[in-house]
Structure 1
Amino acid sequence: MNPSEVDAYLGRLGAARPARPTLGALRELHLRHLRTVPFENLSIHLGEAVVLDEKRLLDKVVGARRGGFCYELNGAFAALLDALGFEVTPLAARVYGPEGRPGVPYDHMALRVRTVDAGEWLADVGFGAHSHYPLSWRDRGEQADPAGSFRIVEAGPDAAGARGGSGTADAVDLDLLKDGEREYRLETRPRVLADFVTGAWWHSTSPESHFTRSLVCSRVTGDGGRITLSGRRLKVTAADGTREEHEYGEGEDEAVLAVYRERFGIELGRVPVVGKADGRD
């Protein structure tokens, strides 16, 4: 990224350029990203290609003021952090399904980030409802966050970390837990953005992927809650857990487009519909 691209990205987040790549700077950028850039899979249902190329990601996230799913959001965020002097390593993960089994290889992308003052952190702005702040990479205890209690443990039923022991900080695989439930299994082998092309293609095209079977646009709100538009259902959850919901009818396309525009900053020419990427009935 060149300096003007960095400035544009920071402008998108409403953030000043940090003086140094510190933990404080990482925490601020992480939270601002979650509040500003939505987690969304609209491209799949609008017939738009998902291209894992740094320029294309910046064009989408910064230029078009859109969001994306994990590969796009964490891919773009990694480029920004790298340009700001952080040491960033993309990592592959497999998301746990309802039956408790990890998903396909390259199911998810997360980031291992080294700061100059506080060691390494797990950053992830592309998992939807996830931690608001980066998680300490080497801490194997419970880590409190506004979104819940998180823990990084060694993967596998016999791992010391999963049993509550100290374990090693560089296990081959790690499990990320939220409120005691496994979220995803994380590899520690370094990856590059191009490694995730197959995973992005599968999630964009396979009828088995939940992204091809549903519509979502979601972000963290200023009070620490979350706002989500799932198809035509709008859910606004406050930090204390109280929720308001509204379902838009088939004849309320303009109202749905207004939600995308006013609540997520996304300008669309038509309402995306699952299974109608070409815009035809």
Structure 2
Amino acid sequence: MVASARTTTPSTPFDLGAYLDRIGWKGAARQPDADTLRGVQLAHLRAIPFENLDALGGRAPSLDLADLTAKLVHGRRRGGYCYEHNTLYAAALEALGVRVTRLTARVVVGADRFEDRPRTHMALLAELPGDPRPYLADVGFGAVGSLLEPVPLTADTEFHDAGRRHRLVHAPRRGPLETWVLQAHLAGDWRAQYAFTLEPFEPSDYEVINWHIATNPRSPFARRPYVQRLTPDAHLLLDGDRVTVTRADGTATERKLTDETEARRVLAEEFGIDVPEGTTLLG
């Protein structure tokens, strides 16, 4: 007999006001429309950093909504990775009256075959009242090719989202469900970011994936720090001991950190993150 994974259910009502205050969204009306969807996603991305420090410290982060609110909304000096960000974002969208379907995707950056990559990324499908087009929404993809705003689920159409360029295309089908691929225009070329189907996933599914990604010794998130912060002018990335700053025009600079003290200072001053006690960054 195989033990079942613990399911996640919200333990307290979602505090939409505290969330909107945390991300600094100043929209005049809390309406479930396309303008709100775009504004909230961009504000979330600029306010809450992406980071894997719990996994780096050997802990699978909690996906309970109360724990996420404490860490990402009230904590102020922490971030999270995709399951944390998009679980929180989904709760906010639902509180705004948006219908949300939780999806999983294969991260295919640099992959020769999509099938070689497991489904380890959480993304969202958002449906707005009176709008026939569903939107791909995502605040948890830790890469320079991530969406800054939701885009309609429409194939072969280029979208400009807050200065970035994306499109959705179909991949050859290997099953009954259509495979969608998010592509980003980077360095003059269209590059696949992740592939997904529209099969809905449940909180219990993410509990299993989250535990695997956080605790498997072969997972890159369990072996080195991976942190990003988005500003209006640049994308900041800490990957291992290297910091890369990519500006809006695509130019980038990179520098190497020398030791643990410098890494902690950079996270505090440039990324706005306090390193949890007992976590070693450059071990």
Does the CA-based 8 Å contact 1:30-1:132 persist in structure 2? Answer: yes
In the alignment, which of 134, 138, 145 is matched to residue 124 of structure 1? 138
Q: Structure 1 pair 4/209, CA: closer, same or farther in 2 (3 Å)?
A: closer
Tell me, yes or no, if structure 1 residue 55 matches structure 2 residue 66: yes
Does the CA-based 8 Å contact 1:219-1:228 persist in structure 2? Answer: yes
Match of 1:233 in 2: 242
Tell me, yes or no, if structure 1 residue 81 matches structure 2 residue 93: yes
Unmatched segments (≥5 aa) in structure 1: 160-169, 277-281
In the alignment, which of 32, 38, 47 is matched to residue 36 of structure 1? 47
SS in structure 1 of the partner of residue 136 of structure 2: strand
Tell me, yes or no, if structure 1 residue 114 matches structure 2 residue 120: no
SS in structure 2 of the partner of residue 226 of structure 1: strand
Tell me, yes or no, if structure 1 residue 256 matches structure 2 residue 263: yes
Cα distance, 1:147 vs. partner?
5.7
Q: How many residues align?
A: 263
Match of 2:4 in 1: none
Cα distance, 1:271 vs. partner?
8.2
Does the CA-based 8 Å contact 2:56-2:223 persist in structure 1? Answer: no
In the alignment, which of 8, 27, 31 is matched to residue 20 of structure 1? 31
Does the CA-based 8 Å contact 2:105-2:121 persist in structure 1? Answer: yes
Cα distance, 1:249 vs. partner?
1.6
Cα distance, 1:97 vs. partner?
5.2
Structural mapping, 1:186-265, within 5 Å: 186-223=196-233, 225-250=234-259, 253=261, 255-265=262-272
SS in structure 2 of the partner of residue 126 of structure 1: coil
Q: Structure 1 pair 4/123, CA: closer, same or farther in 2 (3 Å)?
A: closer
Does the CA-based 8 Å contact 1:111-1:122 persist in structure 2? Answer: yes
Cα distance, 1:230 vs. partner?
2.3
Separation in 1 of the partners of 2:278 and 2:163?
30
Match of 1:154 in 2: 170
Does the CA-based 8 Å contact 1:88-1:114 persist in structure 2? Answer: yes
One-letter code aligned to 2:160: A
Q: Percentage identity across aligned positions? A: 35
Cα distance, 1:123 vs. partner?
0.5
Match of 2:7 in 1: none
